[in-house]
Amino acid sequence: MSIERLMMTAASAMEANKVRMSTTASNLANAETLATNAEDVYKAKKPVFETIRADIMATQNGTPEGSPIGVQLKEIVESNDPAIRRYDPGHPLADPEGYVFAPNVNVMTEMADMIAASRAYQANVEVMKDARELSQQLLRMGQN
């Protein structure tokens, strides 16, 4: 694998993890948003990624065909899990029975996802640094 392809792979992974962190942050920000009914409540979102193959990139960048070289966002999907129904008759959004609906966001899962995305992002930053360092060493070897 060339250093250029390595850097393209790491860059696409960094972008994917940025999207993961952004989506998770949105879920956490809306974790306590209540609604009067289950249809109006915020629904947790998750990004779905797909592999970028070298043959697809070849038409865009002139990259040689071959194995997968990265990922890209395919779509962001809403969770199908049901909203959480809470009894809170004093809340201004309570329905006639005294219930409000909370998002289907699991804060612990979202925090774990954010930590994993952050660590994956950092790992790809290290890959980019190492690839740059290897490129610089290769250039220095050519000078001698």
Range in 57-66, 79-88, 100-109 the model is least confident about: 57-66
How do residues 13-22 score in pLDDT, each as one tens digit?
A: 999 999 999 9
The SS3 assignment for 105 reads coil
Q: How far apart are CA 73 and CA 71, in angstroms?
A: 7
Domain map (residue ranges) of the chain: 3-31+45-78+105-143
Is residue 103 within 8 Å of residue 30, measured between CB atoms? yes
Indicate the range of 67-71, 76-80, 118-122 predicted with least confidence.
67-71
- Average pLDDT across the chain, whole number: 89
Could you give phi then psi for residue 2, rounded to 5 degrees?
Answer: -75, 160
Model pLDDT for residues 21-54, shown as the tens digit of each residue: 999 999 999 999 999 999 999 999 999 999 987 6
Give the number of other CB atoms < 10 A from CB of residue 28: 16
HEC string for 58-90: HHHHCCCCCCEEEEEEEEEEECCCCCEEEECCC
pTM of the model: 0.79
Please give the pLDDT value at position 144: 64
Count the neighbouring beta carbons within 10 Å of the beta carbon of residue 129: 11
How crowded is residue 15: how many other Cβ atoms within 10 Å of its Cβ? 17
Q: Supply the pLDDT for residue 64.
A: 54
